[in-house]
Amino acid sequence: MLFFISGKKKSISNFCKLLQEYEEYNGQLVNREKSYFVVSSKLPRQRSDLISSWSQFKGQSLPIKYLGIPLFKGRAQSCFFDDLVKRISSRIKNWKSKLLSFGGKLTLIKSVHCSMPIHILSLLKVPKKSH
């Protein structure tokens, strides 16, 4: 999930309380090893460290991957999509190596289509160098 909050201590405190209530209510714990916050590259390092100490999350800057799709600011660079292209190519090669019936191929295609967030690519301009 993505949450957008300000970097003020009060906002971070309220957000952490909300996460704690979620954990208590649902019995699910937020994995702080896999979770992080994203800040502007212009934010001073001291401020990022302060936010990290308040929230107990690690800080990162763009570009990042969310659900396997690159999130970035500015122009798309082909290197942002290299991993996605490799994953799709790998799956296609695996299909070719298996002898499947037409129905099996159709099922496999539907499965991969649902598991890969391809629809998000339609929202992004992928550079031609990504092919």
Total structural domains within the chain: 2
Flag whether 30 is in a domain: yes
pLDDT (0 to 100) of residue 10? 92
pLDDT at 98: 64
Q: For the chain, percent helix, then strand, then coil, each to nearest 5? A: 55, 10, 35
Are residue 56 and residue 80 in the same domain, yes or no? no
29 is a domain residue:
yes
Residue-by-residue pLDDT tens, the chain, 131 positions: 778 888 888 988 998 999 999 999 988 898 888 888 888 878 888 888 888 888 888 888 778 777 777 777 777 777 777 888 888 888 877 776 666 777 877 887 888 777 776 666 666 776 777 55
b/e per residue, 96-120, with b = 16+ CB within 10 A?
eeeeeeeeeeeeeeeebeeebeeee
The answer to whether residues 89 and 130 touch, using CB atoms and an 8 Å cutoff, is: no
> Would you state the pLDDT for residue 24?
92
**22 belongs to a structural domain:** yes
- Domain limits at 42? 9-61
**Cβ(29)–Cβ(23) below 8 Å:** yes
Whether residues 44 and 88 share a domain: the answer is: no
53 and 99 within one domain: no
- Same-domain check for residues 81 and 124: yes
- CA torsion 63→51→6→62, rounded to 10°? 0
- Assess whether 125 and 83 both reside in one domain: yes
The pTM of the full predicted model, rounded to 2 decimals, is 0.53
Q: Determine, yes or no, domain membership for 69.
A: no
Same domain membership, residue 81 and residue 53: no
Alpha helices in 34-127 (DSSP H): 45-55, 78-97, 102-115, 118-121
Q: Does residue 31 lie in a domain region? A: yes
